[in-house]
Structures are given as C-alpha cells and as structure tokens.
A and B are shown apart, each in its own frame.
Chain A
Amino acid sequence: MKLSLNKKLAGLAFLLSLLAMLISLIFPSSASQKRASIKIEYLSVLDLATEIRNRKPVRLIDLRDDSSFAAFHIPTAEPYSLNNLQNLEINSSIKTTLYSDEVDISEQAFYLLADRGMENLFVLNGGIQDWYDRILYPKMPKTIPDNYEDIATQIKSLSAYFGGHSIYVDEGNPLNYYKGIAESSPSTKTKRLIRMGC
C-alpha cells in the first residue's frame, strides 16, 4: 500500500499527538502544562516617585481604608478596597501600581486583577510606609559619602517635590537603600522592545 505525502503527514501528526495524550495520562504531573503561577511584579517607591514627577502615565490604587486615604495618600491615587475591586476597570494600556499598608493586601489584589486578564500591573514594594520613610521623609547622612552625591540630590529633590523634607542622621548610610534599587531594579531599564500583545 502506497500512502500519499499528505496521508503520511496526517499519520505523523496523529502518532505524535497520541503519544502526547498517553504520556499526559501516564505522568499527569510532568505534563500538566498548567498556568497556575502568576508572578507578581514589584515597583520600588523610588521608581514610582520618579515616574509621577516626570508625569508618566501611571495609575495608583490605594487599598487602605477610607479614613487612612482621607488622612494621607500618594498623589493621584484612587481609593479601592479588596471588596470593591471588581468595579475597577481592566485596563492594561496604563501602568497600574497597587499599594497598601500591608504588602499582603496588595499582593492579593494583584492576583484578583491578574486573574481577570490585567497586565502592566505592579505592587508597590514596601507600600505606603516606604513611601513615607524613603521618599517623603528620607533619612540622609550628615556628610554625603563619595559616589552618593547623585542619588542624594535625586532623593532630596523628590522629597521636596512631594512636599516632604530630609531627616539627617548621624549613623550609617541610609542611601545604600536607594543605591541598591537603582542597580537592581528592572524598571530603570529602558522600555522593552518586545510589547507582547498583537
């Protein structure tokens, strides 16, 4: 019996997929190919502050209670809670950052929104506390060590921009915190050329 090329190809496809089915049934765990893991992306307060000051389009979601929001919030933030998060419009074209006073809540909200297909989503690392301690009222060494002038100037100007001021301390070098971020943060890189959607 001579088979045409098309029939041979069809047979090959059938065989490879039949084997795929068998291997999936025999070793269910190794071939699950599930997409259960959603990876949380974090944004540092330094990056957020820089983006707000540079008037980049950012959307901020405050997940604390109403009284905390009324007392103080990061400029441009919108108040939401885990209970009314379903009213938040899914919009992946604008960078959206979630923050709270506890990172757990932001992470929970991240999962809820990512489950609904939202992308371009971040959790503010350190939440409102880091914003307060590191941007609004940053600690500064009294004498700025060498190689730290740039970052010190940057933090001072950010702090002033958001209406805070630096607090000078005698011991240690709190600027190491920012230096670490600037070196490791992925968002300080330029735009990735690979926009993933169509």
Chain B
Amino acid sequence: MVRAEVMDMNGPFYINGWIGEDASLVFALFIGLSFGFFLERAGLGSAKKLAAQFYGRDMSVFKMMFTAIITAMIGLFWFNQFGLLNIELVYLTPTFVAPQIIGGLVFGVGFIVGGYCPGTSCVAGATGSLDGWMNVLGLLAGILVFGELYPFIKTFYNTTPLGKITFVDYFDIPAGVMVFILVLVALAGFWASEKIEIKTNSKL
C-alpha cells in the first residue's frame, strides 16, 4: 500500500496533478532565480565575455551550455529509468527543419551584433548593464515586428514539419546510446575549447 503511493508520486508533478497552478508560479520564480544566479556566476551576464566566445578567447558560453545540457540529459535518462519521471509527458517543441535552421542563423547574427541572448540580456540588465536593457528593448521591438509580419511569414513558419521528434526516434537507436554519443561529443568539445583558449590567448 505504502509502496503504491510512492510509485504514484512521480514526475512531472504538475502534469500528474501534484502541484497546482499557483504553486507552479511560485516554483517558476524560484527556478528563474536559480537560473539567473548561475548565469551571472559564470559571467554570462557580460556582453564582452559572451562575445569573446566567437573570437576564441573565452569559451565559457559553450562550456556552460553543454555542461548544463549533458547534466540534464543524463539526469533525465536515469530519472526515467528509475520511474521517477515519465519522459513522454515532458513537453517537446515540434521540429520544423527550415524555419529552425534559418531562425538559428538569424539568431546567431543577432547574438554577435547585440552581445546577448534573451536570457542573458535580462541578467545583464539586472546587474546594471544599460546595453543589456537596450538589448531587451530591441528584443521586444523585434517580437512586435515579427507579430505584425506573422500573416506573411506564416507559410514559411509552418513548412518542413517533422513533428515532435527526438534523435532517439529519428535514428531509432536506444536512448542510452544516444546519451553516450552526445556526452562524448560534448567532452570532445570541452577538450577542444581548452586548447583553443590557450592557443588564442598565447597569440595576444
């Protein structure tokens, strides 16, 4: 009996009805607080540090991003494995190949011109960077432009759909194998980042 109750208490808590709407908003505040905290701690609230990524001087952005990704990825695998979280119930953004590739390229251009991404511009603004606030204003203006142009972009926005799909489905290989491959890729990336930093900074 006790065991059955324990078994029931698995994730996602919100979707399984364990926490309500208002509690989820309090939790959002707490999650955001920790999110902002870690971004700032690693220095991702500084435009100069973010931009240095793309000149090979400081690869912190890459390092932090991929560490976070593989940490959560490994965690998801093991939580799912032990039945603590039903991964099928976690929301997955549907894939639309062309808009997401073009969107990524455009985003990259904006990133290096503005010096921030949406999350880090908020952190920068919060720590007193006026250029961070300018970037936030630019983001709001850009979203407005996108919204107004949406009727014309709609067709492209919805082209090349693949549905909600992960690499596990796409390549049809076991999840653990995919996790292992991506962790290897990340570790190789970290090793390369350390080398690149040493190489670029010794030239300066």
Contact = CB atoms under 8 A, between A and B. Distances in A.
Interface of A: 6, 9-10, 13-14, 16-25, 28, 30-37, 89-92, 114-119, 192-194, 196-198
Interface residues of chain B: helix, strand, loop or mixed (majority): helix
Interface stretch (B49-57, B104-112, B132-140, B161-169): B161-169
Interface stretch (B2-10, B32-40, B122-130, B171-179): B171-179
Most buried by A among B24, B169, B183: B183
A181 to B, nearest CB: 20
B168 to A, nearest CB: 6
B14 A31 contact: no
Interface in B52-73: 67, 70-71
Which of under 10, 10 to 19, 20 to 34, or 35 or more describes the interface residues of B? 35 or more
Contact of A17 (B81, B165, B180): B180
A34 B74 CA distance: 16
A36 B179 CA distance: 19
Contact of A28 (B14, B25, B163, B174): B174
B91 interface: yes
A-B pairs, top 10 by smallest CB distance, nearest first, are: A24-B176, A117-B94, A24-B174, A33-B175, A20-B176, A21-B180, A17-B183, A196-B91, A116-B161, A21-B176
A116 B163 contact: yes
B200 interface: no
Most buried by A among B71, B92, B161, B179: B179
Nearest to B92: A35
B168 A33 contact: yes
Contact of A34 (B24, B169, B180): B169
Contacts of A21: 174, 176-177, 179-180
B174 A31 contact: yes
Given A20-B179, A24-B175, A117 B164 contact: yes
Contact of A117 (B70, B96, B183): B96
Contacts of A30: 81
B21 interface: yes
Nearest to B94: A117
A19 B71 CA distance: 14
A10 B74 CA distance: 13
Given A13-B74, A16-B78, A24 B177 contact: yes
A16 B74 contact: yes
B187 A31 contact: no
A92 to B, nearest CB: 8
Contact of A37 (B88, B158, B176): B88
A19 B187 CA distance: 16
